[in-house]
Every structure is written in C-alpha cells, then in structure tokens.
Chains A and B, each alone.
Chain A
C-alpha cells in the first residue's frame, strides 16, 4: 500500500525556520518525482516545490524561491522541505505528493502537516 507520512510541522515565529519530512513506503521511491503542495485554511491548493526521482532537478514556486529548499534521500525513502525566512502567508497544511512522471499529474498525496507562522 502506498503511504506518504509527513512530519515536522508546528508553530514558528516570522523569520524562523522549519524542516518538513515525508516518509514514503509501498512504492519504488526512486521512480517517482515528488512535490510539496500547500493549502491555507479554507483556501485552495498551491504547488510549492518539486524534485525529480534522482534528486538532480528541483523546482520552486516564485513565492518560495530562495527561502525553501527541497531535497530527498533515496536511501531512506525520505523527502524534505527546508523552510527558512518564514512569513505569515506560509501558514498552511503542507502535503507531500508522489508523481510517476515529471510532476504533471500528482498521483498520490499524504495526509499533510500543519505549519503555522505567528
């Protein structure tokens, strides 16, 4: 069974940092690109960042470029999002997403982890 389990969310002050983790299981991790998508309370979905299966290519939304860093450890089946210089507008549930292709279709999602910047 495919599983994505996020962790690392919490309350942080503006300007602070947080590192999100996503533990993947039930599929061949290296064959999947991975992404982070966020959702502010009562709002829609916003793609944040993505990374290729090898980790060699990374992508960022303009709203987080230069502040967030996505990475993965294929030996541990783990995805990460290092978030620095956090702002109030970064407050959201952050979902870990797996994609069998090149981040075109977001095949499956984790349950999310809440980040509050206040």
Chain B
C-alpha cells in the first residue's frame, strides 16, 4: 500500500500568517494516464471532510484562493497564504493513483 506521510501533525498559526503542510508518498503518484491524483481535504470541527484541491493544484469551486497546492512525484504541499479563523480544522492528503486508496494521517491547524 502507498503510505502517505503528513507533517507537521499539529500547526499553530497566527491569524493572517501563512501555513504550509507537507505530504509525502512512499511511491510516485504519477498515474499511467499521466495525471497525478493527489488531493487535499479539509475537515472542520464537527463536520464531514470537504475537498479543497484535486490533482495536486486544482482548487475546487468556492475554495478561497488563499489555498494552493503544489508538488510532484512523491512530494506535495498545501499552503494557506493568510490563515483565517474559519481555516481551523484537520487537513488530509489523499492519493487516488494506486489501489488501495490511502490518506495521510492528518494535520491539525489551530490558531495561536
């Protein structure tokens, strides 16, 4: 199975400051089709997960442009340019290239 490793586990951030979450996979996420199925999800407290980013860097409709995704191969990053109070929650990366589908362990973003 592809292991997805996120860091840090917890990320205290000051409002208005940037935040960065790393996600590394145990093998390349480049699919035979050429696509790289690395996605990012946000789970706010008490809510179900919501997708923010798909295929590394494509932002979903309604997602603020302060969220951005980047990376390639086995190394990926989710960045929040200026953290707002509504960004508190747990962020998960997920790979959809290899079976079984796997998630990272999550990164908890909190306000300092």
Contacts and interface: CB of A to CB of B under 8 A. Distances in A.
B89 to A, nearest CB: 13
Contacts, number: 56
Interface residues on A, range: 20 to 34
Nearest to B95: A104
B51 A45 contact: no
Contacts of A107: 51, 54
B32 interface: no
Given A95-B48, A109-B49, A103 B100 contact: no
A92 B102 CA distance: 17
A45 B54 CA distance: 17
Contacts of A46: 103
A59 B104 CA distance: 20
A47 B103 CA distance: 8
Given A105-B55, A106-B94, A45 B99 contact: no
A44 B107 CA distance: 10
